[in-house]
């Protein structure tokens, strides 16, 4: 009789993936209870766990197709459903058919992005399209910044969120390259790194840590594709393809 994978070292990264799923589910519950700060930080925790499971799988040398599928299912909850729930709950009184279409568009784009990653993973250290964790944290940290600065009751905040969700949806299903953070070489990355440090410090000084983190994610969103475009120019033809990896989709 075959040894089941859950009785082997493969269980360790899978358990971390399950914790990612639990964090996403708890974030949804916090949104329902209008505890928005907890909802956002739980997704931040899910991001950490999502990065960790792949590293643990590589340490034990047991990356599996099952692990990648499980990771995508957990990511669907933590980085696609949870952000949609937060936005829908915060702007519940402003819900219209157009707003609902935007939320559904983001939802479908995130699921499409995860499915595409399973069959077309990293190339040359870069993802095809914006990864769902980056999209989720960009949206949710921006939402938290609006909430902390008492801007959620103003009409421009709704316009901002609608525009951001639309842009994130298109970026997730686009072919625009985004770097896998663990594959970035600091020597090539240092300019953007210093820009993000300056943005973080400035926003934290004038506003708060939530606004600072949101600004860092938005900076990453706009500038990081240039890293991939410039780095891929210098890759040999044989180095553009990489094996599928767990985490970060």
Domain boundaries, the chain: 5-239
**What tokens does 74 get?**
């957990």
CA distances, 191 to each of 198, 217, 227 (Å): 11, 16, 10
CA distances, 217 to each of 10, 99, 214 (Å): 32, 23, 5
Give the mean pLDDT of the chain: 81
> Sorting pLDDT into bands at 50, 70 and 90, what band is 125?
low
Residue pLDDT, tens place only, 63-78: 777 888 889 999 999 9
* Average pLDDT estimate for 109-129: 82
* Average pLDDT estimate for 207-229: 83
**What tokens does 202 get?**
């400035």
pLDDT of res. 239: 43
> Sorting pLDDT into bands at 50, 70 and 90, what band is 105?
very high
The residues that bridge with 178 in the sheet, in sequence order, are 127
pLDDT at 181 over 70: no
Q: If you search the block for the tokens 């937060």, which residue do you land on?
A: 86
* Average pLDDT estimate for 2-30: 81
* CATH of 5-239 given 1.10.1660.10, 1.10.260.40, 3.90.1330.10, 1.20.120.1760: 1.20.120.1760
Q: Provide CB contacts within 8 A for 84, sequence distance 6+.
A: 103, 106, 107
Are 138 and 217 within 8 A, CB to CB?
Answer: yes
* Average pLDDT estimate for 230-241: 49
């Amino acid at each position: 009789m075959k040894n089941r994978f859950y009785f082997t070292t493969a269980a360790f990264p899978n358990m971390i993936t399950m914790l990612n799923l639990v964090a996403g589910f708890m974030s949804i519950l916090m949104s329902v209870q209008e505890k928005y700060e907890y909802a956002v930080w739980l997704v931040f925790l899910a991001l950490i766990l999502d990065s960790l499971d792949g590293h643990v799988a590589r340490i034990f040398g047991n990356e599996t197709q099952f692990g990648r599928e499980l990771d995508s299912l957990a990511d669907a909850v933590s980085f696609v459903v949870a952000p949609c729930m937060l936005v829908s709950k915060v702007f519940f009184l402003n819900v219209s058919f157009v707003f609902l279409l935007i939320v559904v568009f983001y939802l479908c784009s995130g699921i499409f992005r995860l499915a595409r990653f399973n069959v077309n993973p990293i190339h040359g250290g870069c993802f095809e399209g914006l990864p769902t964790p980056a999209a989720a944290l960009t949206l949710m940290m921006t939402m938290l910044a609006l909430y902390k600065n008492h801007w959620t009751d103003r009409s421009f905040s709704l316009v901002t969120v609608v525009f951001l969700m639309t842009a994130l949806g298109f970026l997730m299903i686009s072919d625009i390259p985004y770097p896998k953070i663990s594959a970035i070489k600091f020597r090539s990355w240092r300019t953007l790194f210093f820009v993000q440090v300056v943005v973080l410090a400035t926003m934290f000084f004038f506003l708060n840590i939530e606004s600072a983190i949101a600004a860092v994610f938005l900076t990453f969103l706009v500038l990081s594709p240039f890293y991939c475009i410039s780095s891929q120019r210098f890759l040999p033809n044989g180095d553009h393809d990489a094996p599928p990896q767990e985490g970060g989709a």
